[in-house]
Structure 1
């Protein structure tokens, strides 16, 4: 006989509420009926799952082993229900996303607006931050990160290249000239982030961290970007921060003869790959399309 998922739901309710009667109230059953259903589940598994007393319940060792399996079964059932309902009714639920400010405003918001227009039952919660958000603690579905990722238990999906670009405003370059070599940066005004006092380059095939000293340091990419456009100096920003500025001539890229900036990528970071809701898959697929349609094959 196949396992009755209703009994698994009941088992989970008993664990959550801490009593047979409270679980029964949650699912609309009497304590006696709850006890019979629990006994049936234990009989099917051939183990005792819960110690019962007149006042409380406690998981047995076998119950502790079965609990994560039960949760996986219930999550799978929910994912299947959502997947097939969304096939007919469109995306639903709350999509929780965090992204850096500039990429969030330029790329995420237009995509989100389109997805919401196409799926009236979809809700979205956006958090824009240039810092690292703990997506597990915050209950985030997807985090966009511009980084060289470190090993972790999180799942990362590469979305696009995002090369670093050494750049400056035309007025600054006219007044101060173009740096030619990495060492020339010492003679230029460089705009730095508080969390990044060394700029990463590749030189002769090796990574090099060039310590940068400038008159202006800021806490956000937006501030460095604005100062760079205003002609305050050179900045090391990423392609998606400056793509429009390079296109319209507001900023110009600066290529060094003996070094090039360390490459980066944009990643979608997920708390887990299991039972990914359709709204998350559709959002990630949409981002891949946006990036592939916009990023040139080679950025100079």
Structure 2
């Protein structure tokens, strides 16, 4: 099996059209179609439903996609093992991460990696949505979530508990809630699709419905509104720790519940051996979060 054709299949699945894949691969749509037909003939299965207006994976194509990713990763790992030598990391590291952590944590990590490894290239996608990393051809997704290692092919990088906070000005005017029942008397800033705030009580999930004058679609907007004194916000530790340390926000601790423990996870598309550049990124990310957590309140 020609791995170049496997890579072409993966590119077509990622961009969703033969012509776009041809542009990415620097070839013609006719040659892309011919090579795809050859791969399908070798596999004995049709990989895409194709019409003049649309292209989508067949069930066989869906099944083959993770294997295609594994084949390409194995090839890249082999090339890295024999060609990098003492020259450092090489190849393209494709990452996706949430916006806030992406700007504050991921960008400094990859900047340091690039400075130390001139042959390394990084493709970083920042999005608060969940991207299908296998279909998008990504190496790793950094996610903030509650999950067990068995839920996905993932490794926990750092703790990131939910944190209640408000500005000193808001607390000065309205005081602090002491229990979850007190939240009903306060202005709470909602992140879209998060009408209930999660806590734990006696090791069980406890959700509290909240209300307030403002809801927003991004963490950045909720945090800015909280700093401006609009109300109380629930965000994760890494979203607000610098602002708490600077005195722009005040942490609020409730007596009847504990914050839900959320983690920062690195999620991978396959269980095959990770390329050296991915392992180096995870190690650097973990080190940066560990050092920064030393000032955790």
Distance 2:122 2:161 in 1: 29
Q: Deviations over 1:199-237 (max 9, x none)?
A: 001123321111111111111111100000000000001
* Residue segments in structure 1 that go unaligned for 5+ positions in a row: 1-7, 17-55
Match of 1:179 among 177, 180, 187: 177
Of structures 1 and 2, the larger Rg is shown by: 1
Query: Hey, which bits of structure 1, 4+ residues long, moved more than 3 A?
Result: 56-61, 67-78, 150-154
TM-score, normalised relative to structure 1 = 0.74
Does the 8 A contact of 2:69 with 2:137 survive in 1? no
Q: What's the counterpart of residue 265 of structure 1? A: 263
The residue correspondences of 1:112-191 to structure 2 (distance < 5 A) are 112-149=110-147, 154-191=152-189
User: Cα distance, 1:238 vs. partner?
Assistant: 0.7
Q: What's the counterpart of residue 85 of structure 1? A: 83
Q: What's the counterpart of residue 215 of structure 1? A: 213
Distance 2:261 2:67 in 1: 42
* Residue segments in structure 2 that go unaligned for 5+ positions in a row: 10-39, 46-59
Distance 1:156 1:103 in 2: 18
User: Cα distance, 1:271 vs. partner?
Assistant: 0.4
Does the 8 A contact of 2:73 with 2:274 survive in 1? no
Change (3 A) 1:194 1:150: farther
Change (3 A) 1:71 1:222: closer
Distance 1:70 1:179 in 2: 53
User: Cα distance, 1:79 vs. partner?
Assistant: 2.0
Q: What's the counterpart of residue 202 of structure 1? A: 200
User: Cα distance, 1:272 vs. partner?
Assistant: 1.3
Does the 8 A contact of 2:190 with 2:215 survive in 1? yes
Match of 1:289 among 273, 287, 290: 287
Match of 1:247 among 235, 240, 245: 245
Distance 1:97 1:74 in 2: 16
TM-score, normalised relative to structure 2 = 0.75
User: Cα distance, 1:296 vs. partner?
Assistant: 3.6
Distance 2:113 2:203 in 1: 43
Does the 8 A contact of 1:154 with 1:272 survive in 2? no
Match of 1:227 among 213, 221, 225: 225
Distance 1:252 1:102 in 2: 19
Distance 1:71 1:166 in 2: 40
Aligned residues: 247
Distance 1:216 1:202 in 2: 25
Does the 8 A contact of 1:86 with 1:278 survive in 2? no
